[in-house]
């Protein structure tokens, strides 16, 4: 921890200094102290947190300040807002001395995934929940910091001052101190920080209002809400927002809020996202209470249909929970009930029934009443079923319901089919189509694919996401890491990134706090339910329960926003339930979407990468497979990037180990990436080393992550529920189920980290292997060749080629055995080299500036596109997205300048451009934000197999960076790491944004 604290600061400072050309000795002097301080502070802070420190409730602004000195080093932190954009420092242990030397520290820093962190946190203890917010804050801090410093940077002298201040502040440590000193920094910060007011409709009908930074991620807001609710078992919940089409969408915690809402409507609703099949297994009563509230709403709005009797029964439990024993002298419940129903007759009847039942609950505590409520609600057939409109292949309207057990198909309220998760091999979407690939039955020989048509591609994607999330949450022990790479992406890399049910259960079993007291206040909910009322046709009595609480009228006016929301929801759900028309569903699969090609799409996310580094021994690598995964990525062109590409032949295949069959078994096999597998031995390898350097200087800090989130392809994506296929460094072990077989799709590249089946095991990392291979490859590089930047069209084509070429080998059982281990080449070697490589990389990624004029072609252009967040679009499909982005960014006074350097010897041979993201990391310093993504591509041309590693380094700064210098330095570093690399492209993009508010 200490190290981290130190290192992070150092990284930043270092960058800052170098940029400002400060004396290095200066920085060295300050460090140890800082570290010590940070450590101390951190401890204190943690104590504080565990005691529910006040700091958590401080304005985010203050917290950020504080986090600068205190929180950032925190380890057990959950996914930071900015995880990617800053170097995550996770390695515990390195001695403090190291801190004195920035480089060393950097080398040792391991970039870990957020998920890993999560897991650590979980296994550590219950402190997790408390610490989570802290990390967010720390994460949030970095951009600000950068901003501040950068501004200061304009005048070197001023900057020096600032730096001093920063140090002082850090050393001083405390929040109090910081606030006492009205340093220039702070002033800057104040003016710089843009806060947005978010309104979150809570389940009890109240609104929670809080300010978040404009660039905050979903997680930040979500944690704030959970904090407010005093909720620890938060994994079952999520935030929703209405998209521009009034569709309810889940806010992705890992992405910036504002990039998701795409409007200035910062209104959200707190909802249950995953309905626990057995609520009695929840640890805390408060969690059950919130679930009850959600279910009341579900019943009230018709989303959860139930019979009259059940409705009355549920209502009676609500009365018992909120009013205690039946008291004839306290007739207030009647008041609500009478307002509730659209059918007065039934209303009366309902009321009587409820009261009658209420009497029978005498003596029941509120918690017991809630539990009884849930026991009954969970048995309802639509409990936890998320319905989506669709059409079958014949164009008949149906509903697809996603739930804990799988996918349900309804036609007019009738279940006409059901696909349990274990039966589903893959879910994917392409444009407006949604496909599921079904495991062959006992008597069938072939897999079948069932296709459905959604209303539009957004719906298809939304459905797909929900499937991915539900499957992961309910069926896996640990989430597949979200695939981070955006290079050459053809599909969404979306993955569920939160905890799975298994994980959250384990985590909540560690909750050790006195049951939090909370008030069951139905009052404000009433208004919402009422609002929904008129439209409810399906469940007439729905509202009663919701309104049982209090005088509905009083509240009606108060939260009009809520009302709207509910209305919409009601409408939607009603429509969904009632509009079904008849048809038959089991659609003969309309030409399944190129299964083989798509299957390899998963790429490792930064998170995965990070993890990998920790657990090198578990990596299984098989030559060739990787490349295929690479195909599908779209280069992340949104940002100015410096990219180093080295071609390498490498594959990583990790198999899924079914928990049931191989408990506790972890297998690692690596093959020398360079050495082709048996069938490939004859092939000659041609290595290309290529480096692309793109440096962009922006007025504002660009967050890599946010960009990537946007660049997600909307058109299609796939997900393999059972077998995590493809190159994600994942560990997917399915929760044991008897009908489930451990299985591997032979025609797919599957890369999984196999990890110990224990629910909370750390995901195995595949990274080291990859890195190792990278190194090896480099050493063997025979031919260094600069390659021309490809046009998007070309790239597409290439990708396809690559996919095809790589598919075949993968299908061979030898390469992708379903057994756990893949015997191939020296693992140890790989691992060790991987470590080395890692260090190299880390060094290279730090944003040092040194001179080395590598670029051979320089061209300057003034791009007509005005962008704020996305800076440079180098290639591929990003073009599309860029357009979109551009449209949405009506920046007025923007000055954009892009300088592109391109290598002279570009070979336009335009071959396949499959890519795998190897690493992605971002170092945020005070003035610069450096993001390095490593992307490995493998192609087969004729007998030649060609692998290239592309490193893309994006340096973004919010001040006047000397981009020549930055470029030179970046190139130099890259060269140091990979002497054979060549620079293919350098883009300098400068953007002066004058109107910040316009960006969105």
Partner 1 sequence: MAGLMAGYGHYTHAVVRGISASMAKEALRSSQSEVVDLAKARREHEVYVEVLRTRLGLEVIELPADETFPDCVFVEDAAVVCGDTALITRPGAESRRRETEAMKGALKDLNLNIVEMTDENATLDGGDVLFTGREFFVGLSKRTNQRGAEILADAFKDYAVSTVPVVEGLHLKSCCSMGGPGLIIIGSSEAAQKALKIMQQMSDHRYDKMTVPDDVAANCIYMNLPNKGHVLLHNTAEEFPESAKVFEKLKDHMLIPVPNAEMVKVDGSLTCLSVLINKKANI
Cα distance between residue 371 and residue 368, in whole Å: 5
The tokens for 131 are 């610490």
The runs of H, that is alpha helices, within 585-624 are 595-599, 606-614
> Tokens standing for 155?
């005048």
Nearest distance from residue 313's CB to partner 1, in Å?
6
Which is nearer to partner 1, 352 or 883 (by Cβ)?
352
424 or 627: CB nearest partner 1? 424
Q: How far is the CB of 700 from partner 1 (least distance, A)?
A: 50
Phi, psi dihedral angles at 314 (to 5 degrees): -60, -45
Residue 24 or residue 280: which is nearer to partner 1 going by CB?
280
Contacts (Cβ under 8 Å, ≥6 apart) of 101: 28
Task: With beta carbons less than 8 A apart as the criterion, state whether 897 and 987 touch.
Answer: no
Q: 388 in the Ramachandran plot: left (φ > 0), alpha (ψ -120 to 50) or beta? A: beta
In angstroms, the CA 80 to CA 132 distance is 8
Place of tokens 């004859």: 682
- The distance of closest approach from Cβ of residue 337 to partner 1 in the complex, given in angstroms and rounded to an integer, is 17
Q: Which is nearer to partner 1, 15 or 312 (CB)?
A: 312
Report helix, strand or coil for 235: helix
Q: Please report the beta strands in 804-943, taking only residues with DSSP state E, as ranges in sequence order.
A: 857-861, 894-902, 916-924, 928-941
- Give least dist CB 480 to partner 1, A: 24
**Nearest approach, Cβ of 399 to partner 1 (angstroms)?**
12
Question: Is the sign of the CA dihedral 513, 518, 520, 521 positive or negative?
Answer: negative
Comparing CA positions, the residue from 389, 544, 371, 382 lying closest to residue 459 is 389
Residue 412 or residue 714: which is nearer to partner 1 going by CB?
A: 412
* Least CB distance to partner 1 at residue 671 (A): 40
Angstrom CA distances, 671 to 25, 102, 538, 977, stand at: 44, 34, 59, 22
The three-point CA angle 334-336-342 to 5° equals 110
Nearer to partner 1, 264 or 445 (CB): 445
**Which one, 305 or 482, has the nearer CB to partner 1?**
305
Residue with structure tokens 């999520």?
238
Provide the b/e sequence for 306-319 (b: ≥16 CB within 10 Å): beeebbbbbbbbbb
Least Å from the CB of residue 374 to partner 1: 11
Shortest distance, position 417 Cβ to partner 1, whole Å: 7
Percent helix, strand, coil in the chain, to 5, is: 45, 20, 40
Q: CA end-to-end span of the chain, whole Å?
A: 36
Q: How far is the CB of 375 from partner 1 (least distance, A)?
A: 7
- Report the nearest approach of partner 1 to the CB of residue 582 (Å): 6
Cβ-proximal residues to 514 (8 Å cutoff; 6+ apart), any chain: none
CB of 340 to partner 1, least distance (A): 18
Residue 803 class from Cβ within 10 Å (0-12 exposed, 13-18 middle, 19+ buried)? buried
Do β-strands 944-957 and 684-692 pair in parallel, antiparallel, or remain unpaired? parallel
From the CB of 429, what's the least distance to partner 1, in Å? 24
354 versus 633: smaller Cβ distance to partner 1? 354
Beta strands 386-391 and 397-402 are antiparallel
Close Cβ partners of 208 (under 8 Å, ≥ 6 residues apart): 199, 200, 201, 202, 225, 228, 270
Running DSSP on this structure, what letter comes out for residue 3? H
Q: Which one, 20 or 416, has the nearer CB to partner 1?
A: 416
Nearest residue (CB) to partner 1, 415 versus 893: 415
Parallel, antiparallel or unpaired: strands 406-411 and 448-453? unpaired
Q: Which positions touch partner 1 (CB under 8 A)? A: 305-310, 312-313, 353, 356-357, 360, 372, 375-376, 379-382, 403, 405, 411-418, 420, 539, 582
Q: Which is nearer to partner 1, 309 or 904 (CB)?
A: 309
Tokens found for residue 154: 């304009």
Closer to partner 1 by CB, 327 or 375: give it. Answer: 375
Residues 209-237 as b or e (16 or more Cβ within 10 Å = b): ebbbbbbbbbbbbbbbbbbbbebbbbbbb
Closer to partner 1 at the Cβ: 230 or 376? Answer: 376
Between 412 and 551, name the residue whose CB sits nearer to partner 1: 412
**Least distance to partner 1, CB of residue 380, Å:** 6
CA torsion through residues 812, 816, 818, 823, sign? positive
**Of 419 and 429, CB closest to partner 1:** 419
Cβ proximity to partner 1: between 74 and 310 the closer is 310
In the bound state with partner 1, the residue whose beta carbon lies nearer, of 379 and 684, is 379
Q: Nearest approach, Cβ of 440 to partner 1 (angstroms)?
A: 14
CB of 356 to partner 1, least distance (A): 7
Cβ 503 to partner 1 shortest distance, Å: 23
Name the token pair of 84: 């990617």
Phi, psi of 170 (to 5 degrees): -65, -45
Least CB distance from residue 352 to partner 1, whole Å? 11
DSSP secondary-structure letter at 100?
Answer: G
């Amino acid at each position: 921890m200490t190290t981290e604290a130190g290192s992070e600061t150092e990284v930043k400072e270092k960058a800052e200094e170098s940029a400002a050309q400060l004396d290095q000795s200066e920085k060295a002097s300050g460090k140890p102290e800082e570290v010590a301080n940070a450590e101390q502070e951190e401890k204190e802070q943690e104590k504080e947190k565990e005691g529910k420190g006040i700091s958590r409730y401080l304005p985010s602004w203050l917290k950020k300040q504080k986090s600068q000195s205190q929180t950032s080093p925190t380890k057990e932190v959950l996914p930071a807002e900015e995880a990617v954009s800053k170097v995550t420092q996770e390695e515990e242990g390195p001695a403090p001395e190291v801190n004195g030397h920035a480089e060393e520290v950097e080398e040792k820093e391991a970039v870990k995934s957020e998920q890993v962190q999560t897991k650590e946190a979980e296994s550590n203890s219950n402190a997790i929940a408390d610490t989570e917010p802290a990390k967010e804050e720390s994460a949030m801090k970095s951009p600000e910091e950068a901003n501040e410093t950068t501004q200061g940077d304009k005048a070197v002298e001023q900057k020096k001052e600032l730096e001093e201040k920063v140090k002082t502040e850090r050393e001083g440590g405390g929040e109090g101190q910081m606030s006492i000193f009205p340093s220039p920094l702070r002033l800057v910060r104040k003016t710089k920080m843009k806060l947005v007011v978010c309104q979150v409709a809570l389940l009890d009908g109240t609104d929670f209002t809080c300010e978040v930074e404009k660039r905050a991620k979903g997680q930040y807001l979500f944690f704030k809400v959970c904090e407010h609710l005093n909720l620890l078992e938060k994994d079952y919940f999520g935030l929703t927002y209405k998209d521009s089409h009034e569709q309810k969408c889940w806010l992705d915690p890992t992405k910036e809020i504002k990039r998701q809402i795409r409007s200035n409507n910062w209104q959200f609703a707190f909802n249950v996202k995953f309905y626990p099949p057995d609520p009695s297994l929840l640890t805390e009563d408060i969690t059950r209470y919130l679930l009850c509230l959600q279910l009341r709403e579900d019943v009230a709005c018709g989303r959860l249909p139930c019979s009259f009797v059940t409705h009355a029964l549920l209502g009676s439990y609500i009365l018992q929970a909120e009013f205690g024993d039946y008291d004839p002298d306290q007739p207030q419940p009647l008041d609500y009930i009478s307002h509730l129903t659209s059918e007065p007759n039934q209303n009366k009847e309902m009321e009587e029934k409820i009261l009658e039942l209420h009497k029978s609950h005498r003596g029941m505590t509120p918690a017991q009443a809630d539990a009884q409520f849930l026991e009954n609600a969970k048995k309802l057939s639509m409990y936890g079923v998320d319905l989506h409109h669709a059409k079958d292949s014949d164009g008949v309207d149906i509903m697809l319901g996603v739930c804990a057990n799988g996918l349900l198909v309804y036609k007019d309220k009738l279940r006409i089919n059901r696909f349990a998760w274990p039966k589903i091999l893959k879910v994917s979407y392409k444009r407006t189509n949604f496909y599921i690939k079904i495991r062959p039955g006992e008597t069938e020989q072939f897999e079948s694919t069932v296709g459905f048509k959604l209303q539009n591609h957004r719906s298809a994607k939304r459905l797909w996401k929900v499937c991915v999330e539900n499957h992961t949450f309910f069926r896996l022990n640990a989430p597949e890491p979200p695939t981070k790479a955006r290079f050459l992406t053809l599909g969404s890399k979306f993955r569920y990134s939160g905890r799975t049910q298994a994980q959250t259960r384990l985590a909540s079993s560690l909750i050790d706090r006195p049951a939090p007291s909370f008030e069951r206040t139905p009052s404000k909910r009433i208004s919402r339910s009422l609002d929904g009322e008129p439209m409810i046709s399906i469940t007439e009595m729905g509202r009663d329960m919701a309104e049982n609480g209090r005088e509905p009228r009083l509240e009606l006016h108060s939260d009009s926003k809520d009302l709207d929301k509910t209305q919409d929801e009601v409408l939607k759900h009603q429509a969904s339930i009632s509009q079904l028309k008849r048809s038959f569903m089991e659609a003969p699969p309309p030409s399944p979407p190129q299964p083989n090609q798509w299957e390899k799409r998963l790429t490792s996310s930064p998170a995965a990468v990070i993890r990998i580094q920790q657990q090198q021994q578990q990596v299984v690598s098989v030559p060739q497979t990787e490349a295929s995964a690479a195909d599908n990525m779209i280069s992340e062109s949104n940002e100015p990037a410096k990219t180093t590409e080295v071609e390498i032949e490498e594959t990583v295949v990790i198999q899924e180990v079914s928990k049931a069959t191989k408990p506790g078994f972890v297998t690692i096999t690596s093959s020398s990436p360079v050495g082709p597998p048996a069938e490939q031995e004859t092939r000659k390898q041609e290595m290309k080393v290529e480096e692309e350097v793109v440096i962009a200087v922006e007025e504002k800090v660009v967050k890599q992550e946010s960009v990537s989130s946007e660049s997600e392809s909307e058109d299609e994506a796939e997900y393999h529920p059972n077998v995590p296929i493809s190159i994600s460094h994942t560990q997917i072990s399915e929760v044991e189920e008897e009908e489930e077989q451990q299985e591997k799709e032979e025609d797919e590249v599957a890369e999984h980290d196999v990890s110990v089946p224990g629910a909370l095991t750390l995901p195995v990392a595949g990274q080291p292997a990859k890195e190792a291979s990278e190194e090896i490859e480099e050493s063997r590089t025979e031919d260094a060749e600069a390659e021309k930047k490809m046009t998007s069209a070309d790239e597409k084509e290439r990708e396809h080629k690559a996919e095809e070429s790589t598919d075949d080998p993968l299908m061979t059982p030898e390469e992708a055995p379903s057994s756990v281990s893949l015997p191939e080449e020296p693992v140890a070697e790989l691992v060790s080299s991987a470590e080395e490589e890692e260090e190299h990389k880390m060094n290279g990624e730090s944003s040092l500036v040194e001179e080395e004029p590598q670029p051979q072609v320089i061209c300057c252009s003034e791009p007509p596109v005005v962008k704020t967040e996305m800076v440079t679009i180098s290639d591929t499909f990003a073009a599309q997205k860029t357009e979109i982005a551009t449209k949405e960014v009506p920046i007025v006074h923007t000055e954009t300048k892009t300088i592109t350097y391109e290598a002279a010897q570009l070979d336009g041979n335009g071959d396949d451009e499959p890519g795998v993201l190897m690493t992605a990391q971002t170092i945020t310093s005070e003035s610069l934000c450096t993001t390095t993504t490593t992307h490995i591509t493998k192609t087969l041309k004729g007998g030649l197999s060609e692998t290239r590693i592309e490193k893309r380094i994006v340096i973004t700064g919010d001040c006047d960076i000397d981009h020549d210098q930055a470029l030179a330095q970046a190139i130099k570093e890259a060269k140091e790491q990979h002497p054979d690399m060549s620079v293919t492209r350098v883009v300098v993009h400068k953007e002066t944004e004058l109107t910040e508010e316009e960006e969105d």
